[in-house]
Amino acid sequence: MKTKFKLFIPVFTAVLIAFSGCGKTDQKTEGDKKDTTKQNSTDQTQVAGENKNQTNTPGTTNELGIKEGMPADYPSDVPQPVNSKCLGSLNTTEGTVVTFESTDKPKAILAPFGEAVEKAGFKKGEGEMMSDDGGMVMWTKDKREVSIMLAWDKEKSNSSVVVTYR
């Protein structure tokens, strides 16, 4: 009888914990509600102030880490897509990604971009995927790579253009 009682206590405790942990997921918790946005931007400012090499300031980077405008190190031998507006850039492990927006169709953007890249000494890679609605093309030169991805948005009547270089 004692062994059954000793076994009953841990089982009962486990069941009690399981039931107390279960509850409605839409329950709201009451208590202190703080706006951490101001604190986070202050922390970012302090980090930027400590790192003198960092040129980023609050307000120029969104929450995804995309910096507004053209990157300072944009290569001179990589053309900017014609008739396009730069939305921002992001440094990744795959290289620097620069996003543009244009009212031109993807093929109208790709033609002059491809000519300028090849004129700068880049060779077109294999596996070009291109249609009227968009696609991707890559070029290489020595150990450097440049790629362009294009997508036509029918609803907005504009093209999204992403140039990646490394």
pLDDT over 70 at 57, yes or no: no
Q: Does 7 reside within a domain?
A: no
Beta bridge partners, 136, equal: 129, 149
Q: How far is CA 98 from the centre of its chain?
A: 10
Q: How confident is the model at residue 30 (pLDDT cuts 50, 70, 90)?
A: low
Residue 149 lies in a domain: yes
34-57 mean pLDDT: 44
| 96 in a structural domain | yes
Residue-range definition of the domain harbouring residue 147 = 55-155
Distance (Å, whole) CA 91 – CA 156: 27
29 domain residue, yes or no: no
What per-residue confidence (pLDDT) applies to 7?
54
Domain count, the chain: 1
Structural domain contains residue 43:
no
Q: Which residue has the tokens 């999204």?
A: 160
pTM: 0.63
pLDDT at position 65, please? 83
Does 59 score more than 90 pLDDT?
A: no
| Residue 16 pLDDT | 46
pLDDT at 85: 97
The structure tokens listed for 103 are 């009212």
